[in-house]
Structure 1
Amino acid sequence: MALSGMRGLSVFISDVRNCQNKEQERLRVDKELGNLRTRFKNEKGLTHYEKKKYVWKMLYIYMLGYDVDFGHMEAVSLISAPKYPEKQVGYIVTSCLLNENHDFLRLAINTVRNDIIGRNETFQCLALTLVGNIGGREFAESLAPDVQKLLISSSVRPLVRKKAALCLLRLYRKNPDVVNVDGWADRMTQLLDERDLGVLTSSMSLLVALVANNHEAYWSCVPKCVRILERLIRNQDVPQEYTYYGIPSPWIQVRTMRALQYFPTIEDPNTRRSLFEVLQRILMGTDVVKNVNKNNASHAVLFEALALVMHLDAEKEMMSQCIALLGKFIAVREPNIRYLGLENMTRMLMVTEVQEIIKRHQAQIITSLKDPDISIRRRALDLLYGMCDVSNAKDIVEELLQYLSTADFAMREELSLKAAILAEKFAPDLSWYVDVILQLIDKAGDFVSDDIWFRVVQFVTNNEDLQPYAALKARSYMDKPATHETMVKVSAYILGEYGHLLARRPGCSPKEIFIIINEKLPAVSTSTIPILLSTYAKILMHAQPPDKELQSQIWAIFSKYEGCIDSEIQQRAVEYHALSRKGAALMDILAEMPKFPERQSSLIKKTEDSEADTAEQSAIKLRTQQQTSNALVVTDQLPANGTQPVGQLGIVKVPSMSNTDDNTSEQGVTRENGILTVIDSQPPSTVSPDLLGDLLGPLAIEGPSVTAHRSEPSVASGEPSGIRADALAIEPVEELANNVQPIGDIAERFHALIVKDSGVLYEDPYIQIGIKAEWRSHQGRFVLFLGNKNVAPLLSVQAMILPPSHLQIELSLVPETIPPRAQVQCPLEVINLRPSRDLAVLDFSYKFGIHVQVNVKLRLPALLNKFLQPISLSAEEFFLQWRSLSGPPLKLQEVVRGVRPMPLAEMTNLFNSLRVMVCPGLDPNANNLVASTTFYSESTRAMLCLMRIETDPADRSQLRMTIASGDPALTFEFKEFIKEQLVDIPILSAPMPPQAQPISQPTTAASDPGDLLAGLLN
């Protein structure tokens, strides 16, 4: 194709438009890019006119979405062209293709400056536009004085000055030092007297940026801003071209009121009175009309005025007027206006005096809770939560509970949390609080965090009068045929502790309570079984004189779980079995849980901290908020005199990682002045004996690759004498070995995390890497705990995830340095795209001192079974699905040899721990097992998986396995995964003898991490 004349560009555009598909378009574009490369190689023979034609084509190709990685120099060179057409192309294409950090842009600084200080206004506008779009720090340092001269010059036309104001705004944002506060404040005040509204609009944008950083220097601008508002709103001294749908220049109004919000207050009474008159006019003159564009403009002005009214702490009468206006907004049909009304009424809650006025609109707000638009429902929920107090808590909480049954799944978790907090903060009486929380668990168990049921336990424990009532309510919920697992946990715990108080009531004898709880045992997960075992031990203790039949039934359950693969279940079963044989001594050992010492609710405190960080305390704070890193660094605080022991290490939980916080399991609740206060049984001076003490088990993967040399002994000069480093498993800095070996068995730790969701991922003398995970359908959330065990920092810390193709993983930034005895917590989001057994790898490295560099590759436990959810099927349901999946590839069968011999009960426990539920009684052969589960991924959604295991009693080292599902890939991957677990099972410790580790008190949720660690590695 001939490239002469602008006709070439028109022909090329026509060719692209006539392409039948994307592949043809790509071939045509590649051909044109090849022609352009050839032309640019002969650059010396190209004129400015020819470069302009080719650069236009480059820009068009770039606009189509293709990468243009050449020709940048030719585009920049056109900026220096003497004629306007070529110069215009150079500026436009450079602005589009390059960014502020591009090396070629530095070559144009002098040319751009010459255009700015020249006398050609057209060239000045081109140059200012370029700098205003992509100017960086180098442009700021070189061009700021010249741009300021243009802005304040009276001989320059307004067209150029308004571009200069926006250009200076860009340069100020890149380097605030370019504007001298002392010399510029007076000039800024003079600019606000500008009659041209174009220059005034740009200057007001510049003022907003200036006062956001330092309002003290610009107090003289406040009266001028008020006069501008008077000119626009009261006098309407505005040219017709700046009137938008009858509204005088709404852009200047918004920016002016926003600038005023950066000043703390307005002391001058005349200025304050004039401003409130203007704001009153805005409030009185704003209404909802049919024209969408006029609504948008008038509401933008109105909501900025509302923010300014709140900021200036206006009189109650004006605040009432604002709320009345917003009340009209939340009642209109237009969803956008309703949303804005709810959002701004939520902001108004920060003003204490008007909360009673907002309550008048409670009925309408509750109606918005059922709006079809989820964003409106969220705003209504936030508003109800904020306006709740003792006077209306009952009504609001009951509405939330009623709405919970029909609410979207996306809202249920937030809804449950807020209802629980409101019930706790404003409970009118103790029994009402228990009723609300149990209803909450019953209606939305999947979305109720463990923190909430921990709170009920703590609350009941600290109030003796409430214990019989709570036990009776728990008993009534256990009668339901379908009981959520969280309800099973809380009911079992309460009935275990206080069920004996109901002994005289019908249906509440120890045996009857045991029977109804034991009916739930086959359907619960491994995390609930320890709680049920503790309940059985308590029931046996209270059944005095002992019921032989009840005793034998409970002993049979303890014997069943003594060989469980889960270390905590195994330990509890062994110890309870031994303790239950001690007769009367059992009463002393398993006495009631003591009351919890007073401490503020961690849930309420965490919520208040979160609200303090994110709430719009004022319009200024909202606009000046800065995003922070997701990684949390937690350090110990040693006093200068060294009197505090090393054990005082503060561990901070990661917000929103998981609804389960193990540390809260030892907390309680007290009630004072109508407010519930959560208290903690652990004294402030007591901490976990490990940096990652809240994790529940050991785990490590892959050995480290270490580069280390001998070094001189190093001693931390600030370390006080007498500190025992082993108090927190902290290794002192001493002479380094020639290599760094991991602590603990690598394979055994990885296998432990196949069935557990928390543990130590890797540990060596310098660092401890822990993991804590939560799984829901096809999504997972990790937190990596990086704990520095030494008194010197870890440097050059780097972490990178190498995900397999079937997992989508996002890791937050990891700090390059981990301070001494500190812990960094890094969130990690996982999405399962399709079935696969491939594992993600964490590539982690760090340096210790100048001689040790460690690099490890750790397999992350995002295995296939983490995306399983056990499901119980009846015989009819199972065989209906089994018959519908006939033959390969949906149904696969294989004889597996080399299986570690194990009894069927142990194999059943193994499958249950892998989240595959064994369905007893479905297979007529007693030597066979039938199981079912549901697999979740983005491609398969919820997919049912069925399994049949046929064993030979004469030869336990082999079995026949049949797997069926609705997806061929899932069937194969699930079959291979189960086979791997049967063939390669880690050999855990034998059941511990009863006298090995006697326990003094069963816990509600998590046992002491040290005991669990010993139990797993014993």
Structure 2
Amino acid sequence: MALSGMRGLSVFISDVRNSQNKEQERLRVDKELGNIRTRFKNEKGLTHYEKKKYVWKMLYIYMLGYDVDFGHMEAVSLISAPKYPEKQVGYIVTSCLLNENHDFLRLAINTVRNDIIGRNETFQCLALTLVGNIGGREFSESLAPDVQKLLISSSCRPLVRKKAALCLLRLYRKNPDVVNVDGWADRMAQLLDERDVGVLTSSMSLLVSLVSNNHDSYWSCLPKCVKVLERLARNQDVPQEYTYYGIPSPWLQVKTMRALQYFPSIEDPNTKRSLFEVLQRILMGTDVVKNVNKNNASHAVLFEALALVMHLDAEKEMMSQCVALLGKFIAVREPNIRYLGLENMTRMLMVTDVQDIIKRHQAQIITSLKDPDISIRRRALDLLYGMCDVSNAKDIVEELLQYLSAADFAMREELSLKAAILAEKFAPDLSWYVDVILQLIDKAGDFVSDDIWFRVVQFVTNNEDLQSYAAVKAREYLDKPAIHETMVKLSAYLLGEYSHLLARRPGCSPKEIFSIIHEKLPTVSTSTIPILLSTYAKILMHTQPPDAELQNQIWAIFSKYESCIDVEIQQRAAEYFALSRKGEALMDILAEMPRFPERKSALLKKAEDTEADTAEQSALKLRAQQQTSNALVVTGQSPANGTLPVNQLSLVKVPSMSNKDHNSADQGLTQENGALSVVDPQPPVPPTDVLGDLLGPLAIEGPPGAAVQSEHSLVSGLEVVLNAEESLAIATVEEQTNTIQPIGNIAERYHALCLKDSGVLYEDPNIQIGVKAEWRAHHGRLVLFLGNKNTSPLVSVQTLILPPSHLKIEQSLVPDSIPPRAQVQCPLEVVNLRPSRDVAVLDFSYKFGTYVNVKLRLPAVLNKFIQPITVSAEEFFPQWRSLSGPPLKLQEVVRGVRPMSIMQMADLFNSFRLMVCPGLDPNPNNLVASTTFYSESTKAMLCLIRMETDPADRTQLRMTVASGDPMLTFEFKEFIKEQLISIPTALQGPAPVPTQAQPISVATASSDPGAMLAGLL
């Protein structure tokens, strides 16, 4: 920008540059803005020169990042100035400060049109540049015909015409109706005969946009595009200034081949032959050289030519040349070229004839799995997966298994899934398939989904010849000192069904099988215990005549778990204990599982979903305003007012529909045939002391999320999807005027449920709302228990779930009245779509004399979708180093932290399902933790945390959070920061842990918030 003769502007820029700090710069800018505002108020006295000077200053201030919310009218008015210096300033500043929807632009339309249709080429270029930069729908309707006339005018210079082509492209993108196809297709073909390469390049950009919407009208342009390619690639008939490192106008070549790909085929044999000759020349003439710029240009042309070859389905000889060329590229040192080579090889797999040729490069592709760049490793994995068939399946799967132990955490789930699919599709025999899956679980159990071991069970169940072999292999893996929980599930299931086939083998007697499985019981989670109980029942059933010692051992286990607070475990233990006393009748009840119906593998659908989700994720969107979770609770709060009356409470039956399960590990095995389901469809409900414990085992009619499904499973249906802003806006209303005050502190109850999965969410003199939840990966199931504490019914009952945009929640129907002393259940199915700290809100209302409405936060929070994972030093440090800085690794100094020791902080992290990893940081004042976050968008994503504390000042620390997803890193960092700053004091104290035989009542658990860190439930 020319500043000659504008001393005031030069002085202002010097003052800004010489500012000592940001505050001084801001003061200088504010002073100048005040001066400009004052001068604009007296606009009548301003000359064009002065107005130009002040508008230049406004633009400079805007470019520095400051808001400029005035002076737009003055900038637009300069467009109509008669002299070039003022008009230039008007056009430049207007295009920078205003967008297409600004009202002031309407004032300039007539002036812009006059400049376009005028005779002054300089003014035409200024006007076309403005319209091309910010032209919207109004500009397109008013100016498109004039721009078209300029483009096809023979009297205009090429400088104006190429700007007109790009301007028309902008207008067409905003409003496709401005280009009338009937009259324009022939004109477009004539433009492709243009000799000026600049006009031709701009016109080709316009053609690409036109044919992408409607290629049928532009068939006449196809032979012209081929002639353009001949002119460039074969004849090299272009001026020297359009030759880039010896390549004739590579941008025009790329655009031309892109336009040809929108036509489905080429019918004319001469045109097709000419095009293939050009493509052959491009393929044979491209090689890797030392000059980076030339490489970039030549490879841009080459890869577009490859795409065109694949699009036209060329003959096999040319395809072979393409594969051979790509084979060279995947072996070069330049990572970008290797990436493009692998990606294009993957695309060429769509052409089935070249699969055998690609196999020749299998060794190099496998080598790419060990590339330092994770993007290249992903492309190599995709290519291996696509090129696998019966002939090379064994080699590829074995390579994937070897690579699994060294693979990044971000790739392990996808790697495991694809290895399982390949083993299933191309297994030479089923015993090899079983071996592969068992190795897979052994090497990467945390990343093996339940669908994989469900599929193994289906194969084994449906193939009798495989059953004894699978049982033997399962028995061998159980001998290992440490195996993954998924291996325990699979081995226990297989041995429960088929261990009797191994009775004559050493170490495989029923007592020995039971003993080795029972050793794993203390190490497994709650979701696996039901499978082990089923295995014990099966072992007992197969032991005929019964072994008294074994029988007593198993009965003791059943008896112990009859009082378990987990409803499914309790139900199975009670039923198996009762059934096992029936003697030989047990053989009929617990008979071997029947064959599964033949069906498409669920793994294939899962792989398709995974591939759809691995597209480039959107950039990190930081929130404009942080929403604090405490703002969502708007009901009044009062301390508990003493003990509650204890009376009998009956259960209200809810209409039944099928229930989705996300927790029980053997759901996929038992649901179809129901061999283990022995449930009375309408069991009697004995009186129970529910006000003392709303979630007691007798108050729940059927286990939430249980594998054994009863006929009275709960209603699913209403799905409410609101975005986060809508839900927050609804929730943050002014304080309500309810005359009914809650019992206890609502915020403390909510924070308690963020750390445990059952308790009281809300209570007032009329109703108690309890919550019981189960979480697995990115799925969750909450059951709300609405208990009427009065001797009169509650009417006009309504529950509405307002989920944020990152949660998908299906809500069951709830009766509009709750009978006296009764309880109803409201199950909620939750799916976590992506990382976020926003919370779902329960809008609950009822009528009991007066209308009561409360809005409560639901404990479906970020830490519910994480699972702790132990990371060794060999796994931690490569992953930590690979996440090298923002936005994947964020660091912040957090002040105002509630003082706590390292041990207390470790306990706090454990309560949030963060696994503290001792020994990774040599500084005893530092803490390192890891966990796995689950959502539909991220799948299983490893998160790493490092806390650096100062023993001299426990109120501050430095926190570093890293993960493979920018949004997850930010959200997780903010979540931990919130907990460190705002965690209630009551949550920090230790609490006694009750024994399993004495389940804590909800009322008791909720009255002592300190019990949450001790993990009462």
TM-score (norm 1): 0.69
From 770, 781, 785, the equivalent of 1:759 is: 781
Q: Say whether 1:292 aligns with 2:297.
A: no
2:860 is aligned to 861
What whole-Å deviation, never above 9, does each CA across 1:949-971 have from its counterpart, x for those lacking one? xxxxxxxxxxxxxxxxx999759
Shift of 1:67: 2.3
Question: CA distance change for structure 1 residues 242 and 539 in 2, over 3 Å: closer, same or farther?
Answer: same
* Separation of aligned partners in 1, 2:118 and 2:174: 24
Cα distance change, pair 317–649 in 1 and its aligned pair in 2 (3 A): farther
Q: Deviations over 1:478-515 (max 9, x none)?
A: 11111111111111111111122112111111221222
Question: Would the aligned equivalents of 1:754 and 1:914 in 2 still touch at CA under 8 Å?
Answer: no
Q: Please tell me whether residue 889 in structure 1 is matched to residue 900 in structure 2.
A: yes
Aligned residue in 1 for 2:371: 371
Q: Which residue pairs with 2:264 in the alignment? A: 264
**Structure 2 CA distance for partners of 1:294 and 1:82, relative to 1, 3 Å:** same
2:474 counterpart of 1:474: yes
Following TM superposition, by how much is the alpha carbon of 1:858 offset from its aligned partner in structure 2, in angstroms?
Answer: 3.9
Are 2:833 and 1:828 equivalent residues in the alignment? yes
CA distance in 2, matches of 1:240, 1:756: 59
Per-residue CA deviation, residues 47-92 of structure 1 (Å, 9 max, x unaligned), is 2222211221221122222222222222222212221111111111
- The residue identity in structure 1 corresponding to 2:567 is S
Distance 1:594 1:693 in 2: 35
Distance 1:103 1:213, change over 3 A: same
Cα 1:198–1:258, aligned 2, differ >3 Å: closer, same or farther? same
Distance 1:599 1:863, change over 3 A: closer
Match of residue 254 from structure 2: 254
Alignment CA distance shift 1:460-1:128 (3 Å): same
What is the CA-CA distance between 1:659 and the residue it aligns to?
14
Q: Partner of 2:30 in structure 1? A: 30
Residues in 1 aligned to 2:332 and 2:731: alpha-carbon distance in whole angstroms: 64
Q: 1:928 — aligned with what?
A: none
Which stretch has the larger CA shift, 15-24 or 225-234? 15-24
CA 1:255–1:420: 2 relative to 1, 3 Å: same
- 1:711-738 superposed Cα distances (whole Å, 9 cap, x missing partner): xxxxxxxxxxxxxxxxxxxxxxxxxxxx
Counterpart contact for 2:286–2:302, Cα < 8 Å: yes
Q: Is the 8 A contact 1:485 1:524 kept in 2?
A: yes
Q: Does 1:749 align with 2:760?
A: no
Distance change >3 Å, CA 497–CA 983, structure 1 → 2: closer
In the TM superposition, residue 752 of structure 1 has moved relative to its aligned partner by 6.9
CA distance in 1 between partners of 2:296 and 2:109 (Å): 41
Q: 2:330, 2:337 within 8 Å by CA — same for their partners in 1? A: yes
Q: How does 1:952-963 map to 2 (within 5 A)?
A: none
Query: 3-state DSSP class of the match of 1:267?
Result: coil
Per the alignment, in what secondary structure is the counterpart of residue 283 of structure 1?
helix
Residues 799 and 843 in structure 2, CA contact (< 8 A), matched pair in contact too: no
Match of 2:808 in 1: 784
Q: 1:322 to 1:168 in 2, by over 3 A?
A: same
Aligned to 1:583: 583
Q: Please name the residue that 1:882 is paired with.
A: none
Partner of 1:691: 716
Equivalent residue letter for 1:890: S
Aligned-pair Cα RMSD in Å: 4.6
What CA distance in whole angstroms lies between the structure 2 residues aligned with 1:371 and 1:917?
A: 30
Q: Structure 2 vs 1, CA of residues 79 and 213 (structure 1 numbering), >3 Å: closer, same or farther?
A: same
Within 1, Cα distance between the matches of 2:124 and 2:664?
59
Q: Name 2:704's counterpart in structure 1.
A: none
Whether the 8 Å contact between 1:457 and 1:494 is mirrored in structure 2 is yes
In the alignment, which residue of structure 2 is the partner of 1:120? 120
CA distance in 2, matches of 1:659, 1:940: 30
Encode CA deviations 1:423-478: one digit per residue, 9 max, x unaligned.
11111110011111111111011111111111111111111111111111111111
Structure 1 pair 422/865, CA: closer, same or farther in 2 (3 Å)?
closer
State the match for 2:392 in structure 1: 392
Tell me whether 1:451 sits opposite 2:440 in the alignment.
Answer: no
Q: Which secondary structure state, in structure 2, belongs to the residue aligned with residue 57 of structure 1?
A: helix
Q: Is 2:773–2:780's contact at 8 Å kept on the other side of the alignment?
A: no
Match of 1:520 in 2: 520
| Pair 870,352 (structure 1): closer, same or farther in 2 beyond 3 Å | closer
- Give the Cα–Cα distance (whole angstroms) in 2 for the partners of residues 756 and 566 of structure 1: 21
Q: Secondary structure at the match of 1:549?
A: helix
Secondary structure of 1:236's aligned partner = coil
Aligned mates of 2:266, 2:904 — CA distance in 1:
81
CA distance in 2 between partners of 1:518 and 1:236 (Å): 78
Relative distance call for 1:782 and 1:497 in structure 2 (3 A) is farther
In structure 1, the partner of 2:109 is 109
Identity %: 75
- The one-letter amino acid paired with 2:861 is A
| Structure 2 CA distance for partners of 1:917 and 1:125, relative to 1, 3 Å | closer
CA change 1:85–1:943 in 2 (3 A) is closer
Q: Deviation of residue 408 (structure 1)?
A: 1.1
Distance 1:236 1:17 in 2: 49
Residue in 1 aligned with 2:839? 840
Gaps of 5+ in 2: 617-654, 674-706, 720-726, 734-762, 787-795, 815-827, 846-852, 873-897, 917-926, 934-942, 950-975, 1005-1017
The SS at the match of 1:747 is strand
What pairs with 1:133-532 in structure 2 (closer than 5 Å)? 133-532=133-532
| Uncovered stretches (5+) of structure 1, i.e. residues with no partner | 617-645, 669-681, 695-699, 707-740, 773-780, 791-822, 833-838, 847-853, 874-886, 895-910, 919-931, 945-965, 991-1018
The structure-2 alpha-carbon separation of the partners of 1:614 and 1:449, relative to structure 1 and needing over 3 Å to count, comes to closer
Deviation string, structure 1 residues 282-315 (Cα, Å, up to 9, x no partner): 1111111111111111111111111111111111
Contact 1:770 1:784 in 2 (8 A): no
Write the deviation string for residues 339-369 of structure 1: whole angstroms up to 9, x where unpaired.
1111111111110111111111101111111
Conservation of the 8 A alpha-carbon contact between 2:806 and 2:833: yes
The worse-fitting range, judged by mean Cα deviation, of 530-539 and 221-230 is 530-539
Distance 1:275 1:754 in 2: 56
CA drift of 1:219 comes to: 0.4
Q: Aligned ranges for residues 799-818 of structure 1 at < 5 Å?
A: none
Distance 2:441 2:777 in 1: 26
Query: Which residue does 1:66 correspond to in 2?
Result: 66
Look up the match of 1:45.
Answer: 45
Q: What are the superposed Cα offsets for residues 183-215 of structure 1, whole Å, 9 maximum, x if unpaired? A: 110100111111111100000000000000110
**C-alpha displacement of 1:9:** 2.0
Q: Distance in 2 between matches of 1:564 and 1:934?
A: 31
| Shift in CA distance, 275/388, structure 1 to aligned 2, threshold 3 Å | same
Separation in 1 of the partners of 2:911 and 2:561?
12
Report deviation, 1:584: 1.9
Residue 70 of structure 1 aligns to a residue whose secondary structure is: coil
Q: Distance in 1 between matches of 2:665 and 2:108?
A: 58
Following TM superposition, by how much is the alpha carbon of 1:981 offset from its aligned partner in structure 2, in angstroms? 9.0
- The change in CA–CA distance for 1:872 and 1:17 in structure 2 (over 3 A counts) is closer
What's the TM-score, normalizing by structure 2? 0.70
Would you say how many aligned residue pairs link Structure 1 and Structure 2? 786
CA positional deviation for 1:987: 3.5
Alignment partners' CA distance in 1, 2:411 and 2:777:
30
Give the letter for the 2:19 counterpart. Answer: C
Q: Distance in 2 between matches of 1:100 and 1:587?
A: 78
What amino acid does structure 2 have at the position aligned with 1:90? G
Aligned partner letter, 1:759: R
Distance 1:12 1:650, change over 3 A: farther
Distance 1:503 1:160 in 2: 91
